[in-house]
Amino acid sequence: MTNLLDMRNLVAGYGYGPDIIHDFNLQIKKSEVKCIIGPNGAGKSTVLKAITGVLKPRSGAVEFEGKDIAGKEAYQIMRQGICFLPQERAIFPNMTVAENLKMGTYSLQDKRLAEERIHHAIETFPVLGERLHQLSGTLSGGQQQQLVYARAFAIQPKLMLIDEPSLGLAPALVEQTFQHIANIASSGIAVILVEQNAFRGLEAADYGVVMDLGKLVFEKPANEVLQDQRIRELYLGKAAKQ
């Protein structure tokens, strides 16, 4: 199968500062889930920003479905089918659940298609269907989290990039969130996630991508990364030693 995303020799950095990402390579195919792990400041979020056009690559190639997207604007990249859930995942609290879902599909010209997708998102996240007219800010934390994923799902992207899905969430919500990610992935959407909780992230993924100091250390099937003793000590932290 050909690559959906093919990033080669990416170099990226901020403003006039030094290069943060050096010669980074990352590929993903349809329906795959890859989890990027590495210490704080390794450049994980920067890689996601460089894919989505939030940050323009300094050099290297980023191809999506065979088309060069490096240097394109974020909205153009989004329209190609890449959806980015950055660390701060905002909903619109003063809008209803239905309005929030509509915001996800606003760029679709075909309104019937937009409605179908929203309908499909509600089927996948049924709690929201009972609360379509409720203001989103009054939902529980878990329901708000469902709304974030349902809205992304309604966009029907081909690739979803998720930065730190579990950050700041209570343990029960972490499990729920990973269930949402699994649902999304099983619908054929490729997912690249960055996760501090390396154990949980790798469990959800087909492949683990280890990075440090802006470079790829290695990439392996996620279960091999989970079993690698050196990686357990280095990247999986205390939890691995128990």
Q: How far is the CB of 59 from ligand ATP (least distance, A)?
A: 17
Q: Do residues 207 and 35 make contact, with C-beta atoms less than 8 angstroms apart?
A: yes
Site for ligand ATP in 39-68 (CB under 6 A): 40-46
Buried b (16+ CB within 10 A) or exposed e, 101-130: bbebbeebeeeeebeebbeebbebbeebee
Q: Which one of ligand ATP, Mg ion, none interacts with residue 66, CB within 5 to 8 A by kind?
A: none
Q: Which one of Mg ion, ligand ATP, none interacts with residue 43, CB within 5 to 8 A by kind?
A: ligand ATP
Buried b (16+ CB within 10 A) or exposed e, 30-66: eebbbbbbbeeebbbbbbbbbbbbebebeebebbbee
Say which amino acid occupies 5: L
Cα separation of 205 and 195, whole Å? 11
In the three-class reduction of DSSP (H, G, I as helix; E, B as strand; rest coil), residue 122 is classed as helix
Instruction: Tell me how many residues contact ligand ATP (CB under 6 A).
Output: 11
**What's the maximum distance between 2 C-alpha atoms anywhere in the chain?**
53
Nearer to ligand ATP, 14 or 218 (CB): 14
Cα separation of 55 and 49, whole Å? 5
Q: How far is the CB of 237 from ligand ATP (least distance, A)?
A: 12
Q: Which one of ligand ATP, Mg ion, none interacts with residue 160, CB within 5 to 8 A by kind?
A: none
Token pair, residue 113, equals 């298609």
Point out which span in 36-44, 111-119, 150-158, 197-205 binds ligand ATP (CB under 6 A).
36-44
Q: Which one of Mg ion, ligand ATP, none interacts with residue 18, CB within 5 to 8 A by kind?
A: none
Rg of the chain, C-alpha, whole Å = 18
Q: How far is the CB of 65 from ligand ATP (least distance, A)?
A: 25
Among residues 14, 68, 110, 224, the one that binds ligand ATP under rule CB under 6 A: 14
Q: Which one of ligand ATP, Mg ion, none interacts with residue 53, CB within 5 to 8 A by kind?
A: none
Nearer to ligand ATP, 20 or 108 (CB): 20
Among residues 7, 37, 42, 45, the one that binds Mg ion under rule CB under 5 A: 45
Token pair, residue 141, equals 């934390």
Angle at 47 between CA 44 and CA 53, to 5 degrees: 140
Applying CB under 6 A, the residues found at the interface with ligand ATP are: 14, 17, 20, 38, 40-46
Applying CB under 5 A, the residues found at the interface with Mg ion are: 45
